Structure 1
């Protein structure tokens, strides 16, 4: 019976070709083939301990590099968050400043329109004030231009 199994194994050499052991498998039983394979794997592992050490050290180096990059990104995210908070405070301050300026302009426009709607004497005063402001502006402009030359 064992002889029949041995003959079946040698006839099935195409299966062994797949595993790359045709020459050895023709004369071995299945248990001998497994033992040989295990011995070959042990020899390969013994010869590649230095490769494992090298790969392990490379993994450690890359992990440290990744940790450094993550730390840098965390620092950048914190800086961006702090900058965004500062800018939000600045914009809130500008909003309140614009609201107060809007209030001042609204009051001035109301007074001006009240003055325009009033009698003829106030219109004459308004005209004199407007002409005086325009002349003052051009006089200051002329003086500044003269000083720069």
Structure 2
């Protein structure tokens, strides 16, 4: 069989990012596949209740909880997730870091945006001066 270009598949144990509803932005684990449009997701460690969720409102992450049985309950999922440190893996990922930074940026008030502007100016000045020094040398 030829190698596929796809690396992330809908499977039991796949960690997903929820894009809609009250759990927007949280991660959960696929515990059961209902049909070709929906799956049951559960996030006992991230406060996501066990529920049916359509695939179009999920984003598949590269993280998989290995060995999770089909249709596992919240308690079993919680044990597997804690044993593998899945939430910590997610929080350390570049994807989660970027989302967190973007969220921080969105919550800034006018004065916060002004401070960011000044910090960027200072950084740009330092870089410009060091490049100028390097060109002279």
The two structures have a TM-score, normalised by structure 1, of 0.26
Greater gyration radius: 1
Higher helix share: 1
Higher strand share: 2
Ranked by relative contact order (alpha carbons within 8 Å, sequence separation 6 or more), the top structure is 2
